[in-house]
Amino acid sequence: MDSELIANWPMWASLFVIACTIVVYVLDRWSMELVSIGVILALLLVFALPGATGVGDEPISSADLLQGFGNPALITIMALLVVGQGLFQTGAIEGPTKSLVRSYGKRPVSTLFLTFLAVFAISAFTNNTPVVIMFLPVMSAIAMRMKASPSRLMMPLSFVSILAGMTTLIGTSTNLLAADAYRRTEGISLGFFEQTPMGLLLAGVGLVYIAIFSRFLLPDRETFAQEVVPSGKQFVAQFEVTQDHFLVGKSPVAGMFPDLKDMTVRLIQRGERAMLPPFDDVQLRPGDLVIVAATRKAISELLAAKPGLLQQIWQDSGTEEVDTSLPQLSLIEAVIAPGSRMAGRTVEMLGFRRLTSAVVLGIQRRSRMIRSKLGQIRLEAGDTLLLCAPQTVFQDLRTSRDIILLEWSQKEIPFTAHSLAARLIALGMVVLAASGITSILVASVLAAFAMIVTQCLNTRQASRALDIRIFLVIAAALAMGTALERTGAATLIANGVVNLAAPYGPVVILSTIFLCVAILTNILSNAATAVLFAPVALEAAQTTGSDPLPYILAVIYASNCSFASPIAYQTNMLVMAPGHYRFSDFIKFGGPLLVVMWIAFTLMAPWRFDI
């Protein structure tokens, strides 16, 4: 026995490194990136030692351990992140969600149902992280309408998106990683909708659980929702009507301009003549200055919907050359500091654009209503300015003693003019992959490239979407998976599972694998769990002489059961703060859901796989 242990020391060393990695991941004392680099380094050191070989004395080189960085599944995941960022950046999903919020007052139950249905449908075909990000404010708004705590909706939002990921090949990165292991081991590519029939059934069970038990098991916790909801404070802003302006020739209807949605026109300056409301027979002409009172949200939505207006504001504010590629601009609120050198002077007197490289879009003053041109308002300490500029400008302004940036208020202005292009690109990607015209790798990389070429997002935004944590965690998981496979550790674990469950038949083997993966996916990441257990499951199928398809699908379904821990999946982390959840809340609500999914899979497996 001792000689066998000594002969197999690379396998036991690999298992020790992987076990330590899992413990360190759970402790969460160091960043996941650092731990991932550490495990890769540890495995490289182990297999650099003399005699460190795999099964049959086959050497395991550093290239074998590092091949995960070029893995097709990892490249696909990175491309899907870029596509998701393009959808988010252009506001391509934002339009439909707004209509859902508006309809809640008339049809609350059906609207809530349609909202979750939209989350499910979109998450099944795209990365669910940007979907959850997009729907977070929607759920907050609906929670306010319901007069309920956001904690009643935020965790269901994450769980519904996770359940949707079970239903298609590109639903989550987990599916792609497991499918890649299936292709490498069996030489068979998993079909786009191979997992859909049972995935929909399992998701249906999960959705029923969420609908019934969310009212009993989720906390109704007091939050600071009122503090984070955008205030209704009014900024004074102005628009100059140019020759090709969208306001040329427009007239008011019942004293309001329909094109200036949610804005109150306080003054129209035409040459030396100032026109005050009511504006009965006024038709706007080139050269008019329209001074409005509007919330920051209304101004942001108008700029997003009218890219030409944004271009005009940025160019007319000091840019000498006309540049068709507008920089990515953000809005932020800034307060004039006490003792500021800007107090008592107007924006024009200061030469604010030359001084700060930012454009003042609006001024807000609590003490009284301002009814004059923006450039003529003398600033006072405590005034709030609505600034527009690239993000780099705001970084430089953080050290200013004259204005105080309200960091929480910073938000990029989406390029909604490209929203249709983003939708078509995402739809084209799904059609190409689902129809089998090309692989999901080619379709996703092509879609990511198209997002950049069509200016749905720029290269900086695309690179920002490439989450280094996901990249390193998956690469580390693939390295651990290689070590498990090549040293025979996967075979050892598979034999253990099979020996434990074999007397009770293939259904129990599948059920045991599902339970092991479902538990581990809440301790480790679901991607790492899928990579680690895919070879284990396939080895179990070979050991029993069974069809490997049910075994790889069991890994896919189980590794998507990331319900019992906030660290199990990134969407759980996203909803934790808005829902004011504790770690125990996920165990209380997500733990039983995991058990329900395990029982449902065990009962459905004989029918679905004919075993």
Containing domain of residue 362, as a range? 235-415
Q: Are residues 309 and 438 in the same domain?
A: no
pLDDT value of residue 578? 75
- Contact between residue 126 and residue 79 where contact means Cβ atoms under 8 Å apart: no
* CATH classification at residue 383: 3.30.70.1450
The identity of residue 585, as a single letter, is D
Cα(155)–Cα(574) distance, rounded to whole angstroms? 10
Domain boundary pick from 468, 503, 537 = 468
Domain boundary pick from 372, 396, 415 = 415
Residue with tokens 């160019």: 315
Q: When comparing pLDDT for 471 and 155, which is higher?
A: 155
pLDDT digits (tens, 9 = 90+) for 525-535: 677 778 778 88
Q: What pTM was computed for the model?
A: 0.65
Q: Are residues 307 and 181 in the same domain?
A: no
Q: Are residues 294 and 426 in the same domain?
A: no
**Cα dihedral sign for 378, 383, 389, 392?**
positive
The identity of residue 248, as a single letter, is V
**Cα dihedral sign for 38, 44, 47, 48?**
negative
Nearest to 555 by CA among 570, 535, 585, 577: 535
Q: Are residues 177 and 212 in the same domain?
A: yes
Confidence of residue 4 (pLDDT cuts 50, 70, 90): low
Cα(309)–Cα(314) distance, rounded to whole angstroms? 9
Is the confidence at residue 104, as pLDDT, over 70?
A: no
- Contact between residue 89 and residue 457 where contact means Cβ atoms under 8 Å apart: yes
> What is the mean pLDDT of the segment spanning 300-323?
60
Greatest pairwise CA separation for the chain in angstroms: 100
Q: Are residues 341 and 373 in the same domain?
A: yes
HSE-up (13 A, CA, CB side) for residue 52: 17
> What is the mean pLDDT of the segment spanning 214-231?
62
Confidence of residue 229 (pLDDT cuts 50, 70, 90): very low
Cα(334)–Cα(405) distance, rounded to whole angstroms? 4
pLDDT value of residue 87? 81
Domain count, the chain: 2
Token readout for 406 is: 């309200």
Structural domain includes residue 582: no
Question: How many residues does the structure list for the chain?
Answer: 611
Token readout for 399 is: 């050290």
Q: Are residues 157 and 273 in the same domain?
A: no
pLDDT digits (tens, 9 = 90+) for 51-96: 777 776 778 888 888 887 887 877 887 888 888 788 877 877 666 6
The bridge status of strand 359-364 relative to strand 235-240 is antiparallel
Could you give the 3-state DSSP secondary structure of residue 568?
coil
